[in-house]
């Protein structure tokens, strides 16, 4: 999983309702992903490094989904 944000979007303490709401979003995201987990930073970086490398020099005009089979 990606590390926590260095600069939070909102520094206010979350209410219990907000914590429940956020956890529901996390659960829904994981449940709708074929791999049933979040990707790691290394997994995301691997795709980026490949596309930036000479090995991808013949690839044009394509979207490479790096989402573990996210259906949403």
The reported pLDDT for the residue numbered 39 is 85
In a domain, 35, yes or no: yes
Distance CA 70, CA 30 (A): 8
Q: Two tokens at 66? A: 């790096």
In a domain, 39, yes or no: yes
Alpha helices in 1-72 (DSSP H): 16-31, 41-52
In a domain, 31, yes or no: yes
In a domain, 10, yes or no: no
- Taking the chain (72 residues) in consecutive chunks of 10 residues, what is each chunk's mean pLDDT? 63 86 87 88 92 95 86 62
Task: Report yes or no on whether pTM surpasses 0.75.
Answer: no
Query: Domain tally for the chain?
Result: 1
Range of the domain at 35: 16-55
Distance CA 5, CA 20 (A): 20
């Amino acid at each position: 999983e990606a590390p926590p944000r260095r600069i939070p979007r909102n520094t206010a303490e979350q209410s219990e309702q907000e914590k429940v709401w956020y956890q529901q979003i996390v659960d829904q995201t994981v449940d709708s992903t074929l791999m049933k987990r979040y990707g790691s930073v290394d997994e995301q970086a691997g795709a980026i490094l490949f596309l930036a490398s000479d090995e991808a020099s013949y690839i044009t005009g394509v979207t490479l989904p790096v989402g573990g089979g996210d259906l949403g």
